[in-house]
């Protein structure tokens, strides 16, 4: 299986492990990732302003390249995934936006939303299958109790993202089980960590993120797993008493690629 891959800015700097272990795990699981050429920052945030075009053009460019190659567009950073998935949805459902974006792009073939955007978790569930992953686990995490943290970007808006039930997801817990560990379901797993308000209201961000880590510990978790670099940074910044790891890092351990985290 070959897919186009959009890593995003943070995976080339502060979140290199998220990218590195995605590539390593993909290879073990028979997936060839082709990094999009000349990709640019996704913008970090999807703005709902109807007249905002410029910040979404890098997403349209990446989507167009995947379309032209006849491949799915793979993402793993929750923020990048949210921006690209929402941009693709807007292209398909807003004719005025699509026309204006294509007018800016001046491509030989206008982009009309043909590419399919998939998160790495979706690839594991829908293309590879958790049973197949379970068979490849060489270092089962059976002694670990892990709380999945989805955050606010991976699942919402639900009608657009369609990765899982926005209120009661299970995809990460199913993966944790497939890796041999025990999933811990925290009622704060879908709550915002406060990452986007940390500069304007540091106390609010600290309160939000601390509530998440404290609840995970109260529920008996040994660690927290996430796919969002911003969430990982914010949770670790305010509470170092529980490890926070990337989902690709944890999978790499289960597949015998990486030593225990």
For the whole prediction, is pTM greater than 0.75? yes
Of 244 and 204, more confident: 244
pLDDT tens figures, 50-82: 889 999 999 999 999 999 999 999 999 999 999
**Residue 19 predicted with pLDDT over 90:** yes
Q: Computed over its alpha carbons, how large is the radius of gyration of the chain? A: 18
- Residue 187: Cβ-neighbour burial (10 angstroms; 0-12, 13-18, 19+): exposed
Q: Taking residues 239-254, report their average pLDDT.
A: 97
| CB distance 209 to 237 below 8 Å | yes
What domains appear along the chain, each with residue ranges and CATH number? 2-120 (1.20.1050.140), 139-254 (3.40.50.1860)
Name the nearest CA neighbour of 252 among 78, 24, 27: 24
The per-residue pLDDT of the chain, averaged, comes to 95
Express each pLDDT in 71-129 by its tens digit: 999 999 999 999 999 999 999 999 999 999 999 999 999 999 999 999 999 999 999 99
Q: Are 159 and 89 in contact (CB under 8 A)?
A: no
Are the C-beta atoms of 212 and 228 separated by less than 8 Å? no
Q: What is the pLDDT of residue 116?
A: 98
Q: 32 pLDDT band (50/70/90 cuts)?
A: very high
Q: Give tens-digit pLDDT for 172-195.
A: 999 999 999 999 999 999 999 998
Angstrom CA distances, 50 to 43, 80, 90, 162, 174, stand at 16, 20, 10, 22, 37
Q: Which residue, chain included where needed, has tokens 């929402």?
A: 86
Whole-angstrom Cα distance, residue 18 to residue 99? Answer: 35
198-231 pLDDT per residue, tens: 767 889 989 999 999 999 999 999 999 999 999 9
Cα distance between residue 201 and residue 211, in whole Å? 16
Return the pLDDT at 261: 55
pLDDT at 49 over 90: no
Coil vs helix vs strand at 108: coil
Reply yes or no on whether the pLDDT at 253 is more than 80: yes
Q: Tokens 């989507």 belong to which residue?
A: 63
What b/e readout covers 115-136, taking b as 16+ CB neighbours within 10 angstroms? bbbbbbbbbbbeebebeebeeb
147-173 average pLDDT score: 97
Which pLDDT does position 188 carry in this prediction?
96
Percentage of residues in the chain having pLDDT higher than 90: 91
Residue 251's DSSP bridge partners are none
Which tokens in the block code for residue 225? 């797993």
Comparing CA positions, the residue from 124, 98, 96 lying closest to residue 28 is 124
Q: Does residue 70 sit in helix, strand or coil?
A: coil
Which pLDDT score is estimated for 258? 86
* Residue 146: strand pairing partners: 183, 223
């Amino acid at each position: 299986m070959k897919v186009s891959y959009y890593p995003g800015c943070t995976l080339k700097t502060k979140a290199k492990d998220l990218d590195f272990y995605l590539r390593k795990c993909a290879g073990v699981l028979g997936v060839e990732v082709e990094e999009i050429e000349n990709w640019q920052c996704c913008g970090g945030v999807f703005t709902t302003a109807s007249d905002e075009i410029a910040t979404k053009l890098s997403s349209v460019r990446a989507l167009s390249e995947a379309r032209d190659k006849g491949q799915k567009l793979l993402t793993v950073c929750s923020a990048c995934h949210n921006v690209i998935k929402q941009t693709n949805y807007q292209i398909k459902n807003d004719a005025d936006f699509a026309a204006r974006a294509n007018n800016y792009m001046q491509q030989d073939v206008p982009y009309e939303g043909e590419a399919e955007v998939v998160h790495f978790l979706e690839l594991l569930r829908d293309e590879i299958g958790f049973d197949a992953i379970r068979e490849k686990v060489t270092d089962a995490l059976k002694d670990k109790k892990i709380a999945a943290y989805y955050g606010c970007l991976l699942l919402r808006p639900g009608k657009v993202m369609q990765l899982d039930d926005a209120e009661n997801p299970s995809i990460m817990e199913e993966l944790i089980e497939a890796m041999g560990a025990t999933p811990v379901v925290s009622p704060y797993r879908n709550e915002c960590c406060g990452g986007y308000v940390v500069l304007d209201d540091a106390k609010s961000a600290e309160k939000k993120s601390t509530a998440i880590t404290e609840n995970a510990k109260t529920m008996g978790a040994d660690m927290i797993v996430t796919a969002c670099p911003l969430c990982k940074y914010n949770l670790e910044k305010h509470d170092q008493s529980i490890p926070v790891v990337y989902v690709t890092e944890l999978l790499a351990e289960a597949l015998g690629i990486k030593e225990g985290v």
